[in-house]
Structure 1
Amino acid sequence: MQSIIMKKRLTEAQFLEAIKGLEIGKQTREIAWGVLVEGKKQAGYVTALGVTKGAVWQAVERVWGAHITKAIPDGFERVTAVLPEHQAFIVKKWAEDAKKKQEPKA
């Protein structure tokens, strides 16, 4: 069985949009920025700040969750599914088509 690990990354603009309206402390913001924008490892914050792995994970997930929620346009829904290869191929094509429809027209 193949495992897919996706790195959670955000641009500076995506990060700033995600934290709008979020009540988060300076440390949470620092951790989330480092991991999501700069690509630093979560373990580094455990050592540097003397916090638990769970605390670092929560900081990152709080901002990531806000990003995911805000990134879904009206009329769309995020789904997760495990499918046979041929069905997954079709769903990926649908996702590409939906993404193209969201892009601003030149």
Structure 2
Amino acid sequence: MKKRLTEGQFHEAAKGLKVGEQTLEIARGVLIDGKPQADFVALLGLSRGAVSQAVDRVWSAHQAKNLPAGYERVSAVLPEHQAFIVKKWAEDATRKREPTK
């Protein structure tokens, strides 16, 4: 899945983030304009990790602000069989939130 945001979504996600202008410039280019991260690596002389982190800061803020009511994002390290079950729960929750066709 390609990470993309509208202008409004980007502004809402960036609101209140304590990041520099360069981070916002990179994130805007990737998330709104659809430019490859590699373009910013070459243009700005940054590492791939630094560019990825800039995009991720805004994307993570967007995701955190757009959880459905009653939902919570979690991260956990689990044994393989428990991770399988949790992934199935996540798929079920996503399916339940999708509008029926």
Settle same-fold status: TM greater than 0.5.
yes
The answer to whether structure 1 residue 15 and structure 2 residue 15 are counterparts is no
Any stretches of 5+ residues in structure 1 without a counterpart?
Answer: 1-5, 98-106
Cα separation, 2, equivalents of 1:45 and 1:66: 21
Counterpart position of 1:74: 69
**Alpha-carbon offset, residue 96 of structure 1:** 1.4
Cα separation, 2, equivalents of 1:57 and 1:75: 30
Counterpart position of 1:94: 96
**Alpha-carbon offset, residue 77 of structure 1:** 3.0
3-state SS of 1:18 partner: helix
Counterpart position of 1:28: 23
Cα separation, 2, equivalents of 1:92 and 1:16: 25
Count of aligned residue pairs for this structure pair: 88
Cα separation, 1, equivalents of 2:93 and 2:6: 26
Counterpart position of 1:38: 33
Which TM-score applies when normalising by structure 2? 0.76
Counterpart position of 1:64: 59
Any stretches of 5+ residues in structure 2 without a counterpart?
Answer: 76-85
Cα separation, 1, equivalents of 2:16 and 2:9: 14
Cα separation, 2, equivalents of 1:82 and 1:75: 18
How many percent of aligned residue pairs carry the same amino acid?
Answer: 55
- From 43, 47, 51, the counterpart of 1:48: 43
Which TM-score applies when normalising by structure 1? 0.73
3-state SS of 1:77 partner: coil
Q: Which runs of 4+ in 1 moved over 6 A?
A: none
